[in-house]
A = this chain, B = another copy of it.
Amino acid sequence: MYLILIYDVGEERVNRVHKICKKYLIWIQNSVFEGDITDSNFFKLSGELRKVMDKEKDSIITFQFESDRKFKKKILGVEKNSTSFEVW
């Protein structure tokens, strides 16, 4: 599947959450990751995140797609880190 992951976690947990996401996905902006991921790796990723995050305070949202052909991605302003962007 193709995944977009956006985290909103306490500052003291940002580094750990960022490192976990980086093992499975591509970092594209601030607290946003994306990339192809297998079901089993998605299971591993969510398990690792659960251990580190504070479930009372933090929030991690994922959007899952069949493939990266299911959406059009555009960027306005700076391209911080990209897979492939269209100019907006």
Contacts and interface: CB of A to CB of B under 8 A. Distances in A.
Interface of A: 4, 6, 8-9, 28-32, 46, 49-50, 53-65, 70-80, 88
Contact of A8 (B46, B60, B65, B80): B80
A60 B72 contact: no
Query: How many chain copies does the complex carry?
Result: 2
Interface centre among A53, A56, A60 (most CB of B within 10 A): A60
Given A6-B29, A6-B32, A88-B46, A59 B79 contact: yes
A82 to B, nearest CB: 9
B78 A57 contact: yes
Given A8-B29, A29-B6, A32-B61, A71 B70 contact: yes
